[in-house]
Amino acid sequence: MNPIPPLAYLNSNNGTGLLAVGSGPSFTLETSEELPLLDAFLENHQGKYIFGYISYALQEHIVGNKASNQSTLPLAFFWVPSEVAALDGTNSILHQGTRKDEISHYIREIERAQSQALPEFTPAISRASYLERIIQIQQLIQRGDLYETNFCFEFFIENLVLSDPFSLYQRVNQRTKAPFSALLCLEDIWLACGSPERFLKKTGNQLISQPIKGTAPRHQDPMEDERLMEALKSSPKECSENVMIVDLVRNDLSKVALPNSVRVAELCGMYSFPNVHQMISTVTCKVSPNRPFSELLKATFPMGSMTGAPKRNSLIHMNALEPFSRELYSGSVGYFSPSGDFDFNVVIRSLTYTPATKRLSCAVGSAITAASDPAKEYEECLVKIARLIQ
């Protein structure tokens, strides 16, 4: 197979999406002190589509140093693709570049790719070790260091040779059909993402964040499926988790919002996906049109749903307790439009592959509170990624 140029495919799974392909001007963020340089890059390429990712390791702007589990990826990477097309059903409309044949070629490559079988995944920690760490976290909550946190771990396969990212993406997308699905193919990382969660969207002077907290499995029997959804909806534990993170997001947005503009548009809304029911809230605010992107990032990233409260304490303690480096997991993939608007997801329900090391990773996590049952939290994690790693 010929080398694949930088490529991003953002698929809403409602018949619409964006496909970006081809090299162009790029920016690599190495330290959080360089964030103003990212603003300059975005300003220099106003009027163009810009795609890229933000690594969870950008948390260093909050904790003051790099996470204890050293990352191998840059803190962020953005580039101006040579070709960008909007997809609507069977039609593609070229918005950037001139090579519609290039777009058509990669649409075909993605569509005809077949999900392939994979060897068995290995958990980074045993179930017993997971339970022990959840108890440690609850002790931190008991003494007042944390109110709620998100503990994550990974399943992985080593020495795995994959021929292309498109089959990997189809494996994920066919099993999730999520509204913030993404394929990212860069030289040092392939990401196949089936995310149901939006991190941050800007339209004009409005920001929208849609944190997820609260998960229940789907069931083939409609009556049992409805019962599971209603149990999630009425669970005091799940609702309190969601409300805590909504409060955190409200606080984050208030740092950059125009006065009295922060609103909770929806609290604990219920949404169903192929594998799970989710509880999703929507928080909005208005911002000044000249607010730099770096200021919005510093106020809101990493996202509350993947960190906890207080955010800084949660980051520090999870860096010490988690048995892996999250990197793209809990990070974000998205794009800037020519008008300067943007939309970014939360990277969850994903497979990441590092071609250089031939390592495939599937990370997962859940919110931990004083009321959490460690065994049930472990089961919730398995429910979230079961179809990805089976």
Catalytic residue among 148, 197, 238, 377: 197
Report the C-alpha dihedral over residues 86, 92, 94, 99, rounded to 10 degrees: 130
Q: Which helix (H) or strand (E) holds 9?
A: strand 7-11
Q: How many CB atoms lie within 10 A of CB 201?
A: 17
Phi, psi of 29 (to 5 degrees): -95, 120
Alpha-carbon distance of 206 to 224, in angstroms, equals 39
Q: Are the C-beta atoms of 317 and 145 separated by less than 8 Å?
A: yes
Beta-bridge partner residues of 342: 202, 336
Q: Are the C-beta atoms of 368 and 329 separated by less than 8 Å?
A: no
Taking each helix axis from N to C terminus, what angle separates 165-176 and 374-389, rounded to the nearest 10 degrees? 130
Cβ-proximal residues to 240 (8 Å cutoff; 6+ apart), any chain? 369, 371
Beta-bridge partner residues of 384: none
197 is catalytic: yes
Cβ-proximal residues to 221 (8 Å cutoff; 6+ apart), any chain? none
298 is catalytic: no
Q: Are the C-beta atoms of 210 and 363 separated by less than 8 Å?
A: no
**Cα three-residue angle 183-189-191, rounded to 5 degrees:** 25
Alpha-carbon distance of 325 to 354, in angstroms, equals 13
Beta-bridge partner residues of 279: 270
Q: Are the C-beta atoms of 149 and 368 separated by less than 8 Å?
A: yes
Cα end-to-end distance, the chain, whole Å: 27
Catalytic residue among 83, 102, 213, 286: 213
Name the residues annotated as catalytic.
Answer: 197, 213
